[in-house]
Amino acid sequence: MELRIDGNSMIAQPGQTLLEIIRILGMDGTALSKRPIAAQIAGEVFNLNYIPVRVSDICNDRPSIRRAMAASGGNVKLLYYRDPAGKDVYARTVQFVLFLALRQLWPQARAKMNCTVGPALFIEVMGVEDFSVQRLKDKVNEIVKEDFSLYRRRVTTQSAIEKFERMGQPDKAGLLRWRTEDFFDEYFYGDFSDYYYGELSPSTGYLQTWDILPTEGGFLFIYPDDADPDRVASYEEMPNFLAVSTEGERWCRLMECETVADLNELTGSGKIRELIRVNEALHEKRYAQIADMICTRGAKAVMLAGPSSSGKTTSANRLATQLRVYGKKPILMGLDDYYIDREKIAPGPDGKLDLEHINTIDTELFREHLNALLSGREVELPSFNFVTGRREWKGHKLRLTDSTVIIVEGLHALNPVLLPEDFDKKSVFRLYVSPLLPLNLDDHNRIPTSLLRLLRRTVRDYETRGSSVEKTMAMWDSVRRGEKRWIFPFQENADVIFNSSTLYELAVLKKHIFPLLTAVQPEEPCYEQVRAIVKILNYVQQADVDDEIPPTSLVREFIGGNTFYR
The dotted CATH code for 86-240 is 3.30.980
Q: What is the DSSP string of 39-59?
A: EEETTEEE-TT--SS-GGGEE
* pLDDT < 50: residue spans in the chain: none
What pLDDT shows up at residue 58?
59
Strand partners, 183: 156
In terms of Cβ atoms closer than 10 Å to its own Cβ (0-12, 13-18, 19+), residue 240 is: middle
One-letter amino acid at 65 equals I
Whether the pTM exceeds 0.75: the reply is yes
CA dist list (Å): 264 to 183, 229, 268, 515: 21, 39, 6, 19
400/486 Cα distance (integer angstroms): 29
What pLDDT shows up at residue 68?
81
- Non-local CB neighbours of 331 within 8 Å, separated by 6+ positions: 398, 404, 405, 406, 407
Contacts 24+ apart (CB under 8 A), 467-474: 469/516, 469/517, 469/519, 469/520, 469/526, 469/530, 470/520, 470/524, 470/525, 470/526, 473/525, 473/526, 473/529, 473/530, 474/525, 474/526
277/166 Cα distance (integer angstroms): 36
Strand partners, 397: 380
Torsion, Cα of 182, 530, 242, 260 (10° steps): -30
Phi and psi of 19, rounded to 5°?
-65, -45
What pLDDT shows up at residue 63?
55
Going by C-alpha positions, the residue among 423, 439, 376 that lies closest to residue 404 is: 376
338/111 Cα distance (integer angstroms): 47
What pLDDT shows up at residue 65?
62
What pLDDT shows up at residue 62?
55
What pLDDT shows up at residue 238?
92
Q: Which residue ranges make up each domain of the chain?
A: 2-80, 86-240, 241-565
One-letter amino acid at 416 equals P
The highest-level CATH class for domain 241-565 is alpha beta
Helix H or strand E segment including 303? strand 301-305
What pLDDT shows up at residue 566?
62
Average pLDDT value over all residues in the chain: 92
pLDDT digits (tens, 9 = 90+) for 26-65: 999 999 999 999 999 988 899 999 998 887 665 555 555 6
Residue count of the chain, please give it.
566
What pLDDT shows up at residue 501?
96
What pLDDT shows up at residue 167?
86
Going by C-alpha positions, the residue among 16, 461, 95, 392 that lies closest to residue 1 is: 16
Return the HEC string of 325-342: HCCCEEEEEEHHHHECCH
User: What does DSSP say about strands 496-499 and 428-434: parallel, antiparallel, or unpaired?
Assistant: parallel
